[in-house]
Structure formats: C-alpha cells, structure tokens
Amino acid sequence: MKSTMMSCPLLVRSMIERAGKLFPAVEIVSVKPDGARIRSTMRDLHCRARQLSAALQQAGIAPGDRVATIMWNQHEHLETYFGVPAIGAVLHTLNFRLHPDDLAYIIRHAQDRFLIVDATLLDVFEQLRSRVQFERIFVVDHGIATLPAGTESYEAFLASTAGGPIYPDLAEDDAAAMCYTSGTTGVPKGVVYSHRSIALHALALSLPDQFCFSRHDTVMPIASMFHVNAWGLPFAAVMNGSRIVMAGRNLQPAALLDLITEEQVTLICAVPSILQALLNTTDDHPGRWRFSDRLHIGVGGAAAPESMFRRFDKLGIELIQGWGLTETSPVATVSTLKPLMRDLPADQRYAQRARQGLALPFTDVRVVSDEGEAPWDGETTGEIQVRGPWIASGYFGGLQPDRWTADGWFQTGDVATVDADGYVRITDRLKDLIKSGGEWISSVDLENALVAHTSIREAAVIAVPHPKWQERPLAIVVPKNGAIDPAALRAFLELRFARWQVPDDFVCVKELPYTATGKLLKTKLRQDFANWQWDRP
C-alpha cells in the first residue's frame, strides 16, 4: 500500500529559493583579497545563483555536466554551491593545495567542462593549464586583474544572461556536487553527492543535538569550502536562513579572530590545527577579542585533544567534535553529551566530548574487528563501518569497490572503540597504528596526551622501524618555549600509558607538516624519519 503523500524531490534549489523568499535581508559577509568586506544579502545570493544558473544553461551546460571551482571561501564560491546544482549540473570543488599532477588527474577524471577560478589562484591554474582541457574558464577578477588569454570575466559571464534559468525536472538522487578524497593511498577518488544526500545531511546536521543551526546564527566555515562541500555548512546555513561569513584567503589567526569577533560569528567549523592556532593567538593577547556568547564550534577532520575543549570552555565557547570523511558528506557522528553525562566529573565529561560521538539519525555506525562487531566495552578496537542516506556507495567510475563490505557498508579505515553509551572513539587510522613487539600502540592517544603537557604546542607520533621491536613510537613535537625535557615527558606519559607504549625518543621541530585540508601529514613524517637511528636498541 502506497501513501497518499506528494512525491516532491528534495532539491538543493528548494533551499535557496526558500531563503531568497523568506530571508532576503539576511547578510552575507565576504572578505575580498585586499581584506575589504563585501556585504550583500541572501536576496543577492539568490539572484546571483539564478544568474549563474541561467548563464551556464545558455552556455550549454546540461544536467550532469561538471563545473569546477578553484576558489577561497568567498561569496562567489557560495553562489556556485546553489547556481550549479539548480540546473542539474554538478559542482566540482577543487582542492587547490594538491600537487598539480593530482589536480590535473582529478580534473581529467571528472571530465570537468568549465572552471571558475579566483584571480588570486591563477598560478594554480597556470600550472595545470597545459594538462587539462576546460572548455571555458571564468575568472573572479575583483575588478583588478588583467585576464590571461583564453579566460573570461566571471562577472561579465553573470551579466551576460537574458532572463532567468529554466529549471529542469530533477530527481533527488541526481548528482549535485562532487569531491575527490585527498587520501594518501592510491589515486584520488571521486565521491558524487546527490540533492537528496545534501538535503538530508543539512537537516540532520542542523538538529539541536548536532551542530544546531538557526536563523539566529552567523555561520562561518573556516575549513576550506573545497573540502567535502564545506562540510555541508553552506546548505545548512541557507536552509535555516542563517547569516553567513566567508573568510576569504587570509587564514592568519589574528585576521580570523578579528573577523569572528567583529562579525559576532556564532557557529564555526574548522580543523583542530587552525583552532589550535586561534587559541594560541588568543592566549598571546588576553582580552583582545570578545566572542559572541552564542559561539559554538564544530571541529572535524581530525580529533581535537581534550585540552582544546578545556581551553575553549574557558573562553565560554562550546567545542563540538564531529567525525566523518569525504565519503560521508562528511558528518556521520557528533559527540554531544547525554543528559545524565552533564553531572559527570569534569574529566569524564571532557573525555566523552573528545570522542567522535553518536551516529546521526538515519545513519548506522558499527565497529568491526576480526572477531566481528566489537562489543560496546570502550576497549575492543575495530574498523568503523558506516551506512546511511548520505554515505557513498561507491567511487565515481567504480574505483576501489573493495572499500565496501558485501552487505553494503563503507569501510572507513578508521580504527575505533565504542563505549557503553554508544560513543565511537577513534584510536587511529589503520595505517597510523604502531605495531611494537606484536602489540598495537595508538599514536592518536599519545599525541592527545602530549599536547596536554605544558611544554608542548603540537605533537605527532609515528612508527619508525626498529631492529628488535619491528616498530617503535617516535614523538615529533613543537615545543611551546623552544625546549623540552624528555625525561619529564616520559614520566608524564607513564602516568597514563604502559612503559612499552611510551615513545623512545622526542624530536623537536619548528612546525609539523599538514595536508591541504589541515590533517597531520604523517606520510611526510614517516619519510623524513624513516632512517632514524635509535639510541637504545
């Protein structure tokens, strides 16, 4: 028996059409390359997205065609999130921090037809130019740049349209956007999001117990927008009629803190490394920045250490850990407390909040070890597997089908435990575990412990080959004041870890290497320290 309900597809364009109609006066703030802030409105976003739709349509972009972007978090980027999918085309946001070889491969693999690129990123494009074949290239020139040969002005393109777009009928499982994983193994792989997956992810992410989006929020993605649809923020923000702040290219901590406080931002999403920098800068200038008392921060891309939750709490800012991957849209779990947990001692509360958390509504998460599904004991580790309406069922072009189980779950490669309350805690990436003398050591646990020490700013722990133990942990740290005391650190770690789990050596560096998306680049560290000579073999 079928229902008598309307079959209205969930489409990205419904979000912007509603916001343009119901929330036209809501402000969109966007920082230009010169630091000036452009103030426009949701009405402008709606109009310009429609202009983009019409222009693309008139230029021959048909449903399913890919339109690529190389842009910062800027209002022109935001409008592509709506203008491209509205006519059934597919927005392909390029991670411009990747190696040109990878970028060229990705563009060719995705068969991108058009490119929209910011003038300040033309150097990225020039490195690719000879290896890719865009039919048309539109430059957001900020009215200043001389356009390179073969490129056109994005603003002129928008202005060229006569009349609005003709919205084609779309099915909700049609492609709306795509991103390639910046994974360090194998070739980059494309994930193709649907209108449905984007809409459902936006609804779930907006719930009060998840990231909690309201029209009373001012939302600012600090994570680069090319990274997994800007974590879904543009969609959730527009769906709820939130005010939006786009930070542009200047990601220096002081500039971001100025923007956050001057614009009274209330909801941020960012990776831990940037947040760490924001905290450090705030500490260096006590009282300089006054945050909105509604400010809450979704952190993802990596696990935030407990110490980060404590530091933000002191500023009256709620940090919320989320977890996911490009393949999961990205948010699959969020760690907010259950009512009874609010009465726990502070240490336990922080431990709970620092976990990856509970599966969102309509998503299923399980942790699978060699013995089958792991019991919820907080100890048994296994790989996280995920299933749900905003989880990828395959890669574009059918690459690496072995990432999915026979019964249809995505195998994330993240190693985790589940506690008795159902909270997932990532202990490591499969490839980041250290196997010493047949026993596993979690590099993540050691890193989290190290950054809680007063002398340490950042820490990475990697496996280094060892003549006796196969592998041993080596800690690479950025000290706070130029020096560390290895014996003190060892003693500090031994309070929480078995002796054999503690790193054998501590190396000081000025900074750690990060991927384009702010993840610690352990492959680089493993290369750099591959020939490390142990003092005590």
**Dist CA 33 CA 352 (whole Å):** 40
Residue 227 phi, psi (nearest 5):
-90, 110
* Residue 376 annotated in active site: no
Torsion of CA 203, 204, 207, 211, to 10 degrees: -110
Q: Token digits for 431?
A: 């490839």
107: three-class secondary structure by DSSP:
helix
* Residue 435 annotated in active site: yes
Question: Phi/psi class of residue 150: alpha, beta or left (left: φ > 0; alpha: ψ in -120 to 50)?
Answer: left
**Dist CA 251 CA 300 (whole Å):** 17
| Contact residue for its own copies among 48, 196, 453, 522 (CB under 8 A) | 196
| Contact residue for its own copies among 29, 52, 106, 200 (CB under 8 A) | 200
| 80, 170, 222, 234 from 56: Cα distances, Å | 11, 16, 28, 21
User: What is the sign, positive or negative, of the torsion defined by CA atoms of 214, 261, 44, 33?
Assistant: negative
Instruction: Point out the catalytic residue in the list 21, 314, 431, 435.
Output: 435
Site string for its own copies, 132-171 (x = CB under 8 A): ----------------------------------------
What residues between 216 and 245 interact with its own copies by CB under 8 A?
216, 239-241, 243
What residues between 370 and 409 interact with its own copies by CB under 8 A?
387-396, 408
| Contact residue for its own copies among 93, 181, 206, 385 (CB under 8 A) | 206
Instruction: Point out the catalytic residue in the list 17, 327, 383, 458.
Output: 327
The closest alpha carbon to 76, from 150, 153, 22, 191, belongs to 153
Q: Segment near its own copies (CB under 8 A), from 193-201, 430-438, 470-478, 486-494?
A: 193-201
Question: Phi/psi class of residue 447: alpha, beta or left (left: φ > 0; alpha: ψ in -120 to 50)?
Answer: alpha
334: three-class secondary structure by DSSP:
strand
| Contact residue for its own copies among 63, 183, 486, 513 (CB under 8 A) | 63
Site string for its own copies, 320-349 (x = CB under 8 A): ------------------xxx---------
Residue closer to its own copies by CB (options 52, 200) is 200
Q: Segment near its own copies (CB under 8 A), from 187-195, 269-277, 347-355, 450-458?
A: 187-195
**Cβ 411 vs Cβ 405: under 8 Å:** yes
| 23, 73, 232, 322, 355 from 267: Cα distances, Å | 18, 15, 13, 14, 20
Residue 73 in the binding site for its own copies (CB under 8 A)? no
Residue 47 in the binding site for its own copies (CB under 8 A)? no
Instruction: Point out the catalytic residue in the list 184, 262, 440, 494.
Output: 440
* Residue 373 annotated in active site: no
Segments in 241-345 forming alpha helices (H): 253-262, 272-284, 306-314
Tell the smallest beta-carbon distance from residue 203 to its own copies (Å): 4
| Contact residue for its own copies among 270, 358, 456, 502 (CB under 8 A) | 358
Residue 422 in the binding site for its own copies (CB under 8 A)? yes
**Cβ 442 vs Cβ 414: under 8 Å:** no
Could you tell me which residues are beta bridge partners of residue 506?
475
Helix axes 306-314, 272-284, angle to 10 degrees: 40
Hey, how many other C-beta atoms are within 10 angstroms of the C-beta on 207? 14
Residue 355 in the binding site for its own copies (CB under 8 A)? no
Segments in 454-515 forming alpha helices (H): 486-494
* Residue 181 annotated in active site: yes
Residue closer to its own copies by CB (options 24, 513) is 24
Q: Segment near its own copies (CB under 8 A), from 39-47, 128-136, 185-193, 278-286?
A: 185-193
| Contact residue for its own copies among 95, 120, 181, 194 (CB under 8 A) | 194
The closest alpha carbon to 274, from 326, 223, 218, belongs to 223
| Contact residue for its own copies among 122, 176, 271, 441 (CB under 8 A) | 176
Site string for its own copies, 76-105 (x = CB under 8 A): --------------x---------------
Tell the smallest beta-carbon distance from residue 295 to its own copies (Å): 15
What residues between 244 and 263 interact with its own copies by CB under 8 A?
none
Q: Token digits for 45?
A: 């976003």
Tell the smallest beta-carbon distance from residue 473 to its own copies (Å): 34
Residue closer to its own copies by CB (options 402, 535) is 402
Residue 207 in the binding site for its own copies (CB under 8 A)? yes
Q: How many binding residues for its own copies (CB under 8 A)?
A: 69
**Cβ 143 vs Cβ 156: under 8 Å:** no
Instruction: Point out the catalytic residue in the list 80, 120, 151, 181.
Output: 181
| Contact residue for its own copies among 52, 204, 277, 441 (CB under 8 A) | 204
β pairing state of 218-221 and 267-270: parallel
Tell the smallest beta-carbon distance from residue 135 to its own copies (Å): 17
Tell the smallest beta-carbon distance from residue 215 to its own copies (Å): 5
Q: For residue 55, give the H/E element and its range.
A: helix 42-58
Amino acid at 365: V
Hey, how many other C-beta atoms are within 10 angstroms of the C-beta on 366? 18
CB-based contacts of 41, cutoff 8 Å, min separation 6:
24, 25, 26, 27, 28
Residue closer to its own copies by CB (options 389, 486) is 389
Residue 438 phi, psi (nearest 5):
85, -5
Query: What residues are annotated to the active site?
Result: 181, 327, 435, 440
Interface residues toward its own copies, by CB under 8 A = 1-8, 10, 14-15, 18, 21-23, 25, 63-64, 90, 173-176, 190-194, 196-197, 199-200, 203-204, 206-209, 212-216, 239-241, 243, 338-340, 358-359, 361-362, 364, 387-396, 408, 410, 421-422
